[in-house]
Amino acid sequence: MPDALTPSETARSTAESPLTARRPIERTFHGDTFIDDYEWLRRKDDPDVVAHLEAQNAWTLAQQEHLAPLRQTLFDEIKGRTLETDLSVPSRDGDWWYYARTVEGQQYPIHARYRAAGPDDWTPRVLEPGEPVPGEQLLLDQNVQAEGHDFFALGSLDVSEDGTRLLHATDTAGDERYTLRVRDLATGEDLPDEVRDTAPGAMFSPDGEHIFYLTVDDAWRPWRVWRHRLGTPSSDDVLVFEEPDERYWVGVGLSRSKKYLQIELGSKVTSESWLLESDNPTGEFRVVWPRREGVEYTVEHAMLPASMVEPSSLSEPPSLVDPPSVVEPGETRDVLLILHNKDALNFELVSSPVPAPGNTVTPEAATVVVAHDPDVRLEGVSASERYLVLYYRRGAISRSAVLSLVDPAGTSQTGTSQADPAEIPHLTTPQATWSFQEISFGQPLESVGAGVGVWEQPNLKVGYTSFVTPQSLYLYDVASGERVLLKQQPVLGGYDPGDYDQRREWATAEDGTRVPISLVWRKDKVRFGVPSGSTAEAGAPAEPAPLLLYGYGAYESSIDPYFSVPRLSLLDRGIVFAIAHVRGGGEMGRAWYDDGKLRAKLNTFTDFVACGRHLADTGWTASDRMVADGGSAGGLLVGAATNLAPELFAGVLAGVPFVDALTSMLDPTLPLTVTEWDEWGDPLHDPEVYAYMRSYTPYENVTDDASHYPRILATTSFNDTRVLYVEPAKWVARLQAAGAPAMLKIEMSAGHGGVSGRYSAWEQIAFEHAWVLDVLNLANH
């Protein structure tokens, strides 16, 4: 069929935007026919497609050429605030302390280690950036590995238990296919062992003789676990596990105790775990709890003081552990801590003995440790020899709590923590011996994460940040609650957190649901008072401020308070940064997620619009001073919101946006489609799902005349395997044809995460932020 142009395209000069050829095809499902003019852009190997993408890119760069000085300024600001030669805080494993360091002028980290002083050396050295580290042994220099490649990513990095070999897997295309190699750390040379096309997450078995790794199917789904024996060709590798159900992703790991190898698999709504004693790596894995549709669970191996383990929890089934009648001091029990959502929407935590071969866990007979609470979403548990850490969410804030398993003298106790902080509010713990203590820094908007190290480690590392507090890492004494600051993210140039402020607002959605919004701004750039004629309270800005509204709203992912160096350049120019915690995310618990997926997905988009209108109505901003921002599923969000309320935003920034979702969900041969049906629905087989998705997907719902749409910048990557480049390419073509001021920027050598290397990433951020400032008429500030 000859190429055709829409009337709006024929009226447009090529100086304004590239003309995208129309090659219409009919797509008919469930009695509905949609004319797709731009599906031809999916042909990645077609020279016409590549030429068109390059023309779009060239036009976008030309349109933004006037912002080149601003982009350089923004890049220089990010670079100037960043300590380029720096080191991470070392983490101990075995006889070594491991860390990464960066060097000014180099794109990628360097991985290294130094030997521990002895078995009681549990406090990391204070390493000075740029100073030699005594006894340092270089493990892997990513800069060397990346030489000669436009893209580089590390997918696996593991050291053998005896510390003599390094496993590393790299991707140089951005398509998330990694080549696995093994390095002899004594010589620094790679061994002949090489496995191509692996997924991330490869690891050594504790004996150091075997490697477990994953491969993906044609849809890029990790579905097979393999075992490779060092010194043998990859053709001899043994298939350990295969999951044929296309809804499930597979992962492999090692328990923190290093006693069990674990295979975990899950769809969006169902999960299953398998165990194998790690001292028998060639043995057969056994299932812990056979999958039940709609039931999710995770498993953590723990060794608890016998006094904490209820005898009743060890009596079912009788073939398991037979507890002695007398508990000896210091005696422990092997248990599995299982976090599950069977009849517990927000999950509950139970303990159960480790099933013997031929047996499985019976959760109904397990001991409830932390009961279900409608106001607390349990998210995880980690175990070590000396303590347990519980991760959960309450009031739209992520939290961590610790339970000591030893008393200050080091002997086993009943689990009562010695720390002083108040017990977790609203958390039901039926077992009196389980007394978790919440770790908090006392801020209304904060992110606190307790990092459990290796099994024997006596202390915790606690990460803390907020919108105004740089990432900080503390050494936390579980017994006393004492915190010692190990490192705070350096911000050069005299950063003062007192110059900035943060706040939580609540918008009201169409159905009356209250939706949280987080905001951060620079104090001297936003003047407060009551705006004339507004419904704002006294605490709102006196005049509308320029504002960047970010949202995601999918997969139960939560956007917690976090500090950002690049964001400072926006705040210092007077922009307020806001996050709309819309339904579909997990900020308010599992129900918050359920109310923003499948047949409730529209709530995600209307919530975002409600947040934008709330911020405008209360005087925080105005429609001509607000830019919407979202990436991936968040790109779907801002795309749908643009169709719903184009008048609400001055601009829309959409990163790797999932804007052609219906087309993707109709094709089970595409990467991720079948696994995503539990999130979006199956429009291929269900006409109601088709009609529902057809009503909101951004690509199909662009209005015929979109000249009133806000300015739109879509960014993507040619080798993205998660959201294919064709989605934003088609969307921008349709927007341009309908008269919308839209443009496309595509990286031809990158994947879903964008460009690789920190300087390249800063350049990309500078490009996007310069565009935002231009939209908000702040390019000259």
> Which residues are tagged catalytic?
632, 720, 752
CA separation for the pair 175, 747 (Å, rounded): 13
Of 737, 728, 670, nearest to 698 (Cα)? 728
- Three-state DSSP class for residue 604: helix
CA separation for the pair 451, 164 (Å, rounded): 26
- Which residues have CB under 8 Å from 442's CB, separation 6+? none
CA separation for the pair 296, 304 (Å, rounded): 24
- Which residues have CB under 8 Å from 661's CB, separation 6+? 636, 680, 693, 697, 698, 699, 727
Of 443, 445, 595, 586, nearest to 505 (Cα)? 445
Q: Are 108 and 757 in contact (CB under 8 A)?
A: yes
* Residue 330 backbone zone (phi > 0: left; psi -120 to 50: alpha; other: beta): left
Of 639, 676, 690, nearest to 660 (Cα)? 639
Phi, psi of 405 (to 5 degrees): -105, 0
- Three-state DSSP class for residue 9: helix
CA separation for the pair 424, 438 (Å, rounded): 5
Q: Locate tokens 């995503």: which residue?
A: 676
Burial 87-96 (b: 16+ CB within 10 A, else e): bbbbbbbbeb
Structure tokens at 48: 């016409």
- Three-state DSSP class for residue 99: strand
Give the orientation angle of helix 602-617 with respect to helix 633-644, to 10 degrees: 60
CA separation for the pair 601, 52 (Å, rounded): 33
Of 569, 595, 567, nearest to 779 (Cα)? 569
Handedness of CA 656, 660, 662, 663 (dihedral sign): negative
